[in-house]
Structure 1
Amino acid sequence: MSHLLDDPLPEGMFSPPEEAIIVFARTSTAMLPITDEIYKGLAEHFDTKQIMEISFTVGLDQLVSRFHATVRTDLDGITTEATNACAVRMPDLPEG
């Protein structure tokens, strides 16, 4: 997981379908537009139903991650260590 944020992705580490999903997920997570090129990258490997499922899965993960970042869910040490590579930035605690 530590290489998911590398740009460019390490050559040969991920299959072409995996790379297409990673590029889509990173772009979506950064709330940037999904370009025709990114969509075509998915369409080379997946049909429309599969792309919809990928989109739903990525969106659901984003929702859950943002929820946990907002409420500052406590994580056990193993989970904290495993997710440090691509952790969601924790918001500052409210004053007061």
Structure 2
Amino acid sequence: MANGFNSADFLVDDRVVDAVRGNADALYDLGVAYSTGSGGVGADLIAAHKWFNLAALNGSEQAMICRADISDDMTAREIVEAQRQARAWLQATDQCRAA
């Protein structure tokens, strides 16, 4: 079980470094991890939507598709929360884009 947590920490830490730079692939990879619960990361549709939203803002067409797909399984409140988290991420990382 510790390996799962270490794997998740590595995945998240590794991809977040690139995500801070606005790397659409890293943002998309985080969305995939959270939407599927892969790489030792627990499934979390709010987090997945946030990462897909950020990837889409950085030009990932696949992220737009994935964001729409998972939105079908989310409540309106969950989507609003994911959007709030995306805006907070943009502010925290000083990325001048609107979520």
Query: What TM-score do you get using the length of structure 2 for normalisation?
Result: 0.43
Higher helix share: 2
- Which structure has more relative contact order (CA 8 Å, sep 6+)? It is 1
TM-score normalized with structure 1 length = 0.44
